Amino acid sequence: MRFWMKYLAVSAALALFIACSDDDSDFATRPNAKASSSSVSSSSSSDLPQSSSSETSESSSSVLADYVDPSTVVKGTMTDERDGQTYKTVTIGTQTWMAENLNYAYLQPTDELDSSSFCHNDSAESCTKYGRLYLWSAAMDSAGVWSTNGMGCGSGEECFPTYPVRGVCPEGWHFPDSTEWEILFSAVGGFATAGKILKASSGWDSDLEISGNGTDAYGFSALPVGPRSYNGSYHDRADVTIFWTSTKSGEGDAYYMRLWNSLDDAFLSDAKTETGAVVRCVKDYISNKPSVL
Per-residue model confidence as pLDDT tens digits over 63-78? 445 899 999 999 999 9
Separation between Cα atoms, residue 139 and residue 147, nearest integer Å: 12
Q: Determine how many CB atoms are found less than 10 A away from the CB of residue 31.
A: 14
* pLDDT on residue 11: 46
* pLDDT on residue 3: 40
What are the residues facing 250 on neighbouring strands?
253
Separation between Cα atoms, residue 67 and residue 195, nearest integer Å: 15
E strands along the chain, which residues? 74-79, 86-92, 95-98, 117-118, 133-134, 173-174, 240-250, 253-260, 267-272, 282-283
Q: What is the dihedral of CA 247, 215, 44, 61, to 10 degrees?
A: 80
Question: 117-118 and 133-134 as β-strands: parallel, antiparallel, unpaired?
Answer: antiparallel
* pLDDT on residue 112: 52
* pLDDT on residue 17: 41
* pLDDT on residue 238: 84
Among residues 213, 181, 214, 182, the alpha carbon closest in space to that of 197 is found at 214
* pLDDT on residue 163: 95
> Which parts of the chain register pLDDT below 50?
1-64, 288-293
> Quick check: 266 and 186 in contact, CB under 8 A?
no
Domain range annotation of the chain? 2-45+53-283
pLDDT tens digits for 23-54? 434 444 333 333 333 333 333 333 322 222 22
Separation between Cα atoms, residue 246 and residue 260, nearest integer Å: 21
* pLDDT on residue 202: 92
